Chain A
Amino acid sequence: MPVTLRIAFRNIFEHKSKSLIIGILLAMGSLILIVGNSFIDASRTGIEITFSDNYTGDVFISGISPEGPVSLFGVTSVGGLAATPIIPDFEKVLAILSKNPQVDAYSGMATGYGIVTKNPELSIDQTMHAVGEEDDPSESDPSFRFFFLFGVDPSSYWTMFDSVRLTSGSLIQPGSTGLLVNEKQLEKISKWMKKPLGVGDTLVIQGFSASGMKIRELPILGTYVQQGEGAAPEQMSFVDIDTLRILAGMTVGSNEDIVLMEEQFSLLRAADEEIIFGEDLFGDDIIGAAPAKGSFDEAKIQAQLADTKARDLANTADTGAWQFLVIKAKDPSRTNQLIKELNLSLKNEGIEAVAGDWQKAAGPYGQSVDVIRIVFTIAIAILSIVAIIIIMNTFVISVIERTGEIGTMRAIGAQRVFVRKLFAAESVVLSLFFAIIGALLAIGVVALLRSLKVEAGNPFLAILFGGKYLSPYITVFNFLGGIAGMVAVGYVAHLYPVSVALRIQPVQAMRND
């Protein structure tokens, strides 16, 4: 054993209390680092598996929106009103997919939002009475009324994903119209409506999108429970694609032109208020002639609304419109390569669409993993700085106590580099030993947490846990990384005390002793 190591071991054992203080700090550090990373890994893996296996596949293709990133949840934009773009040149995109040998299967999709409404058949008086006597505690959390609607292509979707287990009814079949609802959500809706609901009953859903609101009465085709223990929200419901297209405003005639009179938009043209209130725009008086007197004419209004041809066309589902393509790769480990290839093909064909991984598809859910990681990293960084300062302080005290020893070593010919090595060895040995203890404790803590099967009580915890239960796990990389990180902390902490020690002149040091 080199002499520096031997002296280092001797010093560690001679200064037991100081070594223990530093050691406990380092062990705690590696414990927190490893356990924390095991949480983040579990969260990331849990959400990744939930989404890629159940909803997004390995690769996700969407249109491009100038308003913000596009995910399964729509466009993440300021104000949240941006329309989810439709994949342009859909047939060409399908051709690209069918040519790529790495693509195993794919399916078209679209998503939208809706809210279930109660008692649509009641008159005003009846509804107001019903509202007046409302004392249902579930009203305080009305999130169960909300639907995140998955419009799927039943010919390919159910063979690609086995995310749902039917508890009643049937899956959505080609040509059928209706909803496949989460069983738990339907229970809550039944309680709210004060009547049992099941297959064959209908729900009145109000869909809302950037192009307005639509109401449809939809039969319940089936109920499901989610396979596995994923972190997906229970408000996910499946609906036939044409109904989804209408609710989400994906209709053929939504680009109609309207002819306006000049006076209906002239103010928008005016450069400023001086022109608007000048003489040119309205002449001398801004008070116009009184409108002709006429009594309320219901027949006239009826006549204006009678022609519904344009409306019917505008509310016809655009059968070629899809917002997303979800793709399963033959070899999921080569997903990144496949994404690159697909993006290159889309670019070469000049198609305004982009391929991404599950995290792009999961949108806010995917980002939550990054947010958790950033918060954790900042916390660890702050903790490390505090640890370094405490360890450094303890080292400084230790160095001052050993001034005479250092002076003697220097006096009998020890070079500065020898003293440096001595302290480096001491700190590395100490850090390594206690970091390993901390890492072993981390294994114990993680094993204990897994055995406790802590259940996620709310959606935020479900994201944090990456599933229904807390199931952290330690990778070799994180285990070794935690130890290496704490050794680095120990090493950095010793640099300043050593420089203090080396500033002391040997003669002075021996005199002080």
Chain B
Amino acid sequence: MQRHSPRRSKALLLISLAIGFLIPLAGVAQTPALPGLGMNQAKKILSDLDDLGNFPGKDYSALFTIVSEKPGEKQSVTQVRVFRRDSKKQFTILIMLPEVNKGQGYLREEDNVWFYDPTGRKFSHSSIKENIQNSEAKNADFTSSSLSKDYDIQKISEASIGKFPVWVLDLRAKNNEVPYDRMVLYVRKDRIMILKQEDYSVNGRLMRTTLFPKYVEVEGKLLPSQILIVDEINRGEKSQITMAEQTVEKLPDKVFTKAFLEQVNR
């Protein structure tokens, strides 16, 4: 156990990253290990990852704990409950920690986002387009991306991470709708699960490294339960996201309403 001080810098960005971007990537196919990987098989892995990250007809909810580190500063902690319904492009986020922001909520439906502050008992409204214009968040951080649709495989190689032999898939963006021009995925050979992801800018600079060292199995699908995001531009800045209470059970419709944010704060 350790004591930490909360600070909310970049917390929302990390939440959006985690719910909109990482989970769809982290699906897992129960494919046997391949002796060598051809282009077609690599493409199959990508489309499997896309398919398995979606939960058709189901919802997703979890409790995220985000601990961020910055050199010379105390660790900051944010804990949020996340509710997702991709079929209607809806999500609800409830802030549980830090205390100063407890009960605050975000509700998204299509391009609209509402923010609720229980201390003022009021909502504010904005559109995703507005937010993206003024932040470092990218389109794909808020919408599910599709690896096979957005990326071409440039190169396939082999390596190992820790004790795991991995396929290294070097991907290049097909369009400019994705946040990073180049992405390198390290996919475990025996169970085809992503262990590591590197994101590169257009000029080839490594921007961000993400590790997926821990998964849980929910209704036959593997979901990451711990993620480490390392900012490669600002040395020493990194965040750990821990997902608990993950479920893909159907949620009541009212979870995605303004009334829900008000009710849970009563």
A165 within 8 A of B: no
* Also in contact, A274 and B162, with CB within 8 A (given A260-B65, A265-B75): yes
Interface on chain B toward A: helix, strand, loop, or mixed SS? strand
Q: Which residues of A contact B138 (CB under 8 A)?
A: none
* Cα separation A185 to B191 with both chains bound (whole Å): 60
Q: Which of A91-99, A229-237, A280-288 touches B? A: A280-288
B240 is contacted by which of A131, A214, A256, A268 (Cβ under 8 Å)?
A268
Minimum CB distance partner of B111 in chain A: A131
A267 touches B211 (CB 8 A): yes
Within 8 Å of chain A (Cβ to Cβ): is B203?
no
**A288, B214: Cβ atoms under 8 Å?**
yes
CB A178 to nearest CB in B, in angstroms, measures 14
What's the least CB distance linking A243 to chain B, in Å?
Answer: 10
Kindly specify which of B17-25, B121-129, B146-154, B168-176 makes contact with the partner chain.
B121-129
Q: Report how far A362 CA is from B240 CA in the complex, Å.
A: 39
Residue of B at shortest CB range from A285?
B215
Residue of B whose beta carbon sits closest to that of A303: B264
One of B2-10, B42-50, B177-185 contacting the partner: B2-10
B122 and A120 within 8 A (CB)? yes
CA distance A211 to B163 in the complex (A): 41
Residues of B within 8 A of A276 (CB): 162, 211, 213, 228
Which of these, B61, B98, B257, contacts A258 with CB under 8 Å? B98
B195, B213, B242, B257: most-surrounded residue (chain A CB, <10 A): B213
Mark out the residues of chain A between 259 and 298 whose CB falls within 8 Å of any chain B CB in the assembled complex: 259-268, 270, 273-279, 281-282, 286-291, 293-296, 298
Most buried by A among B100, B244, B249: B100
Q: How many A-B residue pairs have CB under 8 A?
A: 218
Chain B, 239-266, CB within 8 A of any chain A CB: 239-240, 242, 244-247, 249, 251-252, 255, 257-258, 260, 263-266
Contact of A301 among B104, B123, B125, B264 (CB under 8 A): B264
A255 CB–B CB distance under 8 Å: yes
Could you say which of B2, B244, B252 has the most chain A C-beta atoms within 10 Å of its C-beta?
B2
* A273→B161 contact, CB < 8 A: yes
Alpha-carbon distance between A119 and B112 when the two chains are bound, in angstroms:
14
Q: What A residues does B257 contact at CB under 8 A? A: 123-124
Contact A257 B100 (CB under 8 A): no
Report the interface size class on chain B: 35 or more
**B228 and A290 form a contact (CB under 8 A):** no
Q: Are B124 and A206 in contact (CB under 8 A)?
A: yes
* Interface contact A288-B3, CB-CB below 8 Å: no
Q: Does A127 contact B (CB under 8 A)?
A: yes
B26 contacts partner chain A, Cβ-Cβ < 8 Å: no
Asked if A258 and B3 make an inter-chain contact with CB atoms under 8 angstroms apart, the answer reads yes
Q: Flag whether B217 is at the interface (Cβ < 8 A).
A: yes
Q: Does B69 contact A (CB under 8 A)?
A: yes
Interface status of A184 (Cβ within 8 A of chain B): no
Q: Which of B9, B216, B266 interacts with A302 by CB under 8 Å?
A: B266
Interface bits B89-118 vs A (CB < 8 Å: 1, else 0):
000001011111111100101101011111
Q: Is the CB of B125 within 8 A of A120?
A: yes
Contact B115 A278 (CB under 8 A): no
Asked whether B238 lies within 8 Å of A268 as measured between CB atoms, the reply is yes
B163 interface neighbour in A212, A278, A308, A312, Cβ under 8 Å? A278
The answer, yes or no, to whether A349 is at the interface (CB within 8 Å) is no
Q: How far is the CA of A442 from the CA of B201 in the complex (A)?
A: 52
Give the residue of A142, A267, A290 whose beta carbon is less than 8 angstroms from that of B226: A267
In the complex, which residues of chain A have a beta carbon less than 8 angstroms from the beta carbon of B77? 258, 260
* B196 lies within 8 A of A308 (CB): no
Interface presence of B222 (CB below 8 A)? yes
A212 touches B162 (CB 8 A): no
Q: Which residues of A, 7-62, contact B by the 8 Å Cβ criterion? A: none
Ordered by A's residue number, 12 sampled pairs between the chains whose C-beta atoms are within 8 Å are A124-B258, A213-B101, A213-B104, A215-B120, A261-B1, A263-B242, A266-B240, A267-B226, A270-B228, A274-B162, A279-B162, A293-B247
What are the 7 tightest A-B residue pairs by CB atom distance, in nearest-first order?
Answer: A277-B162, A117-B124, A314-B100, A215-B117, A310-B99, A215-B120, A267-B228
Given contacts A249-B100, A259-B4, A298-B252, 16 further A-B contacts (CB under 8 A): A81-B9, A204-B122, A210-B7, A210-B9, A213-B101, A215-B116, A215-B122, A253-B99, A260-B4, A265-B67, A267-B228, A276-B162, A286-B213, A294-B247, A310-B99, A315-B119
